[in-house]
Structure 1
Amino acid sequence: MLPVTIRNYARRDFTDLISLQALCFPPPFPSELWWNERQLAEHVTRFPEGALCAEIDGTIVGSMTALRRTLHRTEKHDWATVTDDGYIRNHEPEGDTIYVVDICVAPAFRKFGLGKWLLQSMYETVVHLDCLRLLGGGRMPGYVHSIGRLTPEQYVEQVAIGEIIDPVITFLLRCGRLPVGIVPNYIDDEQSANYAVLMEWRNPFKKEREKWNIFG
Structure 2
Amino acid sequence: MSDITITNARPEHAAALAEHQKICFPTLDPDAWMSADDFLAQMRVFPEGQHVALDGERVVGQSSTLRVREDQAFAQHSFLGITGNVTFSTHDPQGEWLYGADMSVHPEYRRRKISKLLYNARKDLIRRLGLRGMVAGGQLSGYHDYREQMGIEEYIDKVVRGELADPTLTPQLRSGFVVRDILWHYLDDAEHGAEASLIVWENPDL
TM range (shorter): over 0.9
The runs of 5 or more residues in structure 2 that have no matched partner are none
1:38 equivalent in structure 2? 37
Moved over 3 A (4+): 28-33, 73-76, 190-193
Instruction: State the AA in 2 paired with 1:6.
Output: I
TM-score for both structures, normalised by structure 2: 0.92
Structure 1 partner of 2:67: 68
Question: Which residue is equivalent to 1:77?
Answer: 77
After TM superposition, give the deviation of residue 173 of structure 1 in Å. 1.0
Matches within 5 A, 1:50-65: 50-65=49-64
**Highest RCO, 1 vs 2 (Cα 8 Å, sep ≥ 6):** 2
Amino acid at match of 1:40: F
Q: State how far apart, in whole Å, the 1-side matches of 2:32 and 2:77 are.
A: 19
Work out the CA distance in 1 between the residues paired with 2:153 and 2:34: 31
Secondary structure of 2:70's partner? coil
In structure 1, distance between residues paired with 2:53 and 2:137 = 21
Separation (CA, whole Å) in 2 of partners of 1:170 and 1:118? 16
Residue 117 of structure 1 pairs with residue 117 of structure 2: yes
2:54 maps to a residue whose letter is E
Asked if structure 2 preserves the Cα contact closer than 8 Å seen for 1:138 and 1:198, the reply is: yes
Structure 1 counterpart of 2:176: 176
- 1:118 aligned partner, one-letter code: L
Match for residue 135 of structure 2? 135
Offset at residue 76 of structure 1 (A): 4.4
Q: What is the deviation of 1:146? A: 2.3
Give the number of equivalent residue pairs.
205
SS in structure 2 opposite 1:64?
Answer: strand
> TM-score if structure 1 supplies the norm length?
0.88
The amino acid across from 1:52 in the alignment is H
Q: Which amino acid aligns with 2:40?
A: A
RMSD (Å), alpha carbons: 1.8
CA shift at 1:16, angstroms? 1.4
* Structure 1 unaligned spans of 5+: 207-216
Measured in 1, the distance between the counterparts of 2:43 and 2:17 equals: 12
Alpha-carbon distance in 1 for matches of 2:69, 2:173: 23
Q: Percent identity?
A: 27
